[in-house]
Amino acid sequence: MQSSTAESIITVDDRDGALKQVLARFAADASCLLAEKQDAFEGRADLMHSLLREIDETILPRQLTLYFDQRAVAELTVSHRRLLSLDLSGVSSPAGNQTSIAQIYAQRLRQLVLSNKGAGFRITRQPCEISAESESCSARLLMETLTTQQDQGRLRSLMSSIGTDAEAWVFQDGSTAKTESFGPDDQIQRLTDLANSDAVARQKRRPTPQVPDQAPSCMVLTMSPNMRVIVACDRNEILLLTLSVQNLDAALQAWRSIFAQS
């Protein structure tokens, strides 16, 4: 079964320790390595762990191609145990508010894992040339970023992904009665009114505390011909964002990548 976490990647602080583990894998019996490949091909291996391990064990410049069954879905450029590029085939990756290259790559890795849905996969390797200007991050930093994104809450992850594309946003946490906001006052007020109306409607649908929290939901409202409002709910939290039409598809892709397993 696939996992969205990266807890099992090698986290050795010293280079000697990491090198010893890589050499141990290379010295392993061929049948063990074949069994690993067979597990991946039949969908029994952890995709995230496999990708992070490939990055962590690659020293010379290599282009890794990830296949789901026979379909190439991603290309990764790796060198010196660092990820230099990650391109997804046929997937619009949200640009959003990732403030570091690690956050961008972590988001794309999560998209890959969520789109895999337990299917078989394989990874091929080819020598390649690299650019000195490439932005990069290590497998360890990717793991830490993935863990942070997972722990911060799904709506906050969504806000981190698309928040800077928004003209305005309002985030309400019903469990703490706290409200955060950004943007022009008139738009904040309009979004706050929508959030309050939605909260009242949800309370009417949940007349007793024993009723489970509402399942995650995402709704798009038209504010004007060129502007849309996303209303996203998850448990006791609600996030409303005002976006231009051109940023809507990326925002909805970010929603799907975060909530696909709900």
Identify the CATH number of the domain defined by range 158-259.
3.30.450.190
Q: What is the pLDDT of residue 96?
A: 45
**Greater pLDDT, 147 or 202:** 147
Q: What is the pLDDT of residue 233?
A: 92
Q: What is the pLDDT of residue 25?
A: 54
Domain coordinates in residue numbering, the chain: 15-149, 158-259
Q: What is the pLDDT of residue 113?
A: 80
Question: Under DSSP, is residue 209 helix (H, G, I), strand (E, B) or coil?
Answer: coil
- Please give the share of the chain, as a percent, with pLDDT higher than 70: 75
Q: Which amino acid is at 195?
A: A
Q: Which amino acid is at 256?
A: R
Tell me the range of 28-32, 54-58, 94-98 where mean pLDDT is highest: 54-58
| DSSP E strand stretches across the chain | 62-68, 71-79, 82-88, 121-127, 137-138, 166-173, 178-182, 217-224, 227-234, 237-244
The residues facing 25 across adjacent strands are none
With a CB cutoff of 8 Å and minimum separation 6, the contacts of 12 are 18, 21
Place of tokens 């020293």: 59
**Greater pLDDT, 161 or 82:** 82
Q: Are 165 and 247 in contact (CB under 8 A)?
A: yes
Q: What is the pLDDT of residues 6-38, one digit of tens each?
A: 434 444 444 555 555 555 555 555 666 667 777
Q: What is the pLDDT of residue 9?
A: 44
Q: Are 187 and 242 in contact (CB under 8 A)?
A: yes
Half-sphere exposure for 98 (CA within 13 Å, toward CB): 19
Q: What is the pLDDT of residue 261?
A: 56
d(CA 241, CA 19): 47
pTM tops 0.95:
no
Q: Are 220 and 200 in contact (CB under 8 A)?
A: no
